[in-house]
Amino acid sequence: MHQLAIALHLEGHLVSGSDDEIFDPALSNLRRYNLVHENYFWDSDKISEDIDLVILGMHARNDNPELIKAKEIGLDVVSFPEYIYRRSRNKKRVVIGGSHGKTTITSMIMHVLRECGRPFDYLVGSRVRGFDVMVSLDESNDAIVIEGDEYLSSCLDPRPKFHHYHPDIAVVSGIEWDHINVFPVFEQYVDAFRTYVNSVPAGGSIIYCNTDENVAALMGEYGGQAEKVPYEAVPYEIDNNEVKVFCGVVPIAVNVFGEHNMLNMSAAFEVCRRLGISDESFFSAIAGFEGAARRLENIHESDGLRIFRDFAHAPSKLKATVKAVKTRYPDDLLLAVFELHTFSSMNREFLTHYASALDLADVAAVYFSPHAFDLKKLKAFTAAEIREGFNRRDITVLNEPESLLEFVAENMKKPVSILLMSSGNFDNANFDRIPLLNK
Query: Which residues lie closer than 8 Å to 320 by C-beta, 6 or more apart?
Result: 100, 258, 259, 260, 312
Angle, in degrees to the nearest 10, between helices 279-286 and 259-274 = 140
**Residue where a domain stops, chosen among 33, 60, 75:** 75
| CATH code at position 415 | 3.90.190.20
**3 state DSSP class of 222:** coil
Question: Is the same domain home to 96 and 149?
Answer: yes
Q: Which residues, in sequence order, are CB contacts of 380 under 8 Å at separation 6+?
A: 368, 370, 373
Specify whether 235 is located in the same domain as 122: yes
Amino acid at 197: V
Q: Is the dihedral of CA 37, 41, 42, 44 positive or negative?
A: negative
pLDDT at residue 439 in the model: 55
Specify whether the CB–CB gap between 417 and 309 falls below 8 A. Answer: no
Which residues on neighbouring strands pair with residue 77, listed in sequence order?
Answer: 54
pLDDT at 222: 96
Indicate whether 177 belongs to any domain: yes
Of 207, 418, 230, 218, residue with least CA distance to 308: 418
Q: Pick from 226, 251, 286: which residue ends a domain?
A: 286
> How long a stretch of residues is the chain?
439
Question: Are 105 and 64 members of one domain?
Answer: no
Domain assignment of residue 209, given as a range:
82-286
Q: Are residues 174 and 26 in the same domain?
A: no
Q: Quick one: 326 and 196 in the same domain?
A: no
Q: Are residues 35 and 90 in the same domain?
A: no
The model's pTM: 0.90
Please indicate, yes or no, if residue 291 is contained in any of the structural domains: no
Contact 354, 192 (CB under 8 A): no
Q: Are residues 39 and 110 in the same domain?
A: no
The answer on 420 and 337 residing in a single domain is yes
Rounded-to-integer distance, Cα 229 and Cα 315, Å:
26
Residue 220 in any domain: the answer is: yes
pLDDT value for 438? 64
Cα-based angle 303, 338, 125 (whole degrees, multiple of 5): 95
In this structure, the answer to whether residues 253 and 229 fall within a common structural domain is yes
Angstrom CA distances, 95 to 70, 247, 267, 331, 408, stand at: 30, 25, 12, 39, 39
pLDDT tens over the chain, length 439 residues: 999 999 999 999 999 999 988 877 888 999 999 998 878 899 999 999 999 999 999 889 999 999 999 999 999 999 999 999 999 999 999 999 999 999 999 999 999 999 999 999 999 999 999 999 999 999 999 999 999 999 999 999 999 999 999 999 999 999 999 999 999 999 999 999 999 999 999 999 999 999 999 999 999 999 999 999 999 999 999 988 899 999 877 899 999 999 999 999 999 999 999 999 999 999 999 999 998 888 999 999 998 999 999 999 999 999 999 999 999 999 999 999 999 999 999 999 999 999 999 999 999 999 999 999 998 899 999 999 999 999 999 999 999 999 999 999 999 999 999 999 999 999 999 999 998 876 5
> Residue 283: CA atoms inside 13 Å, Cβ hemisphere, count?
17
Specify if 243 maps to a domain: yes
**Domain boundary residue among 51, 75, 99?**
75
pLDDT confidence of residue 38: 79
> How many domains in the chain?
3
In a domain, 292, yes or no: no
Same domain, 228 and 122: yes
For residue 304, being part of any structural domain is answered with yes
- Mark 42-55 as b/e (b = at least 16 C-beta within 10 Å): eeeebbeeeeeebb
If asked whether residues 322 and 246 sit together in one domain, one would say no
CATH of the domain at 204: 3.40.1190.10
Does residue 254 sit in the same domain as residue 107?
yes
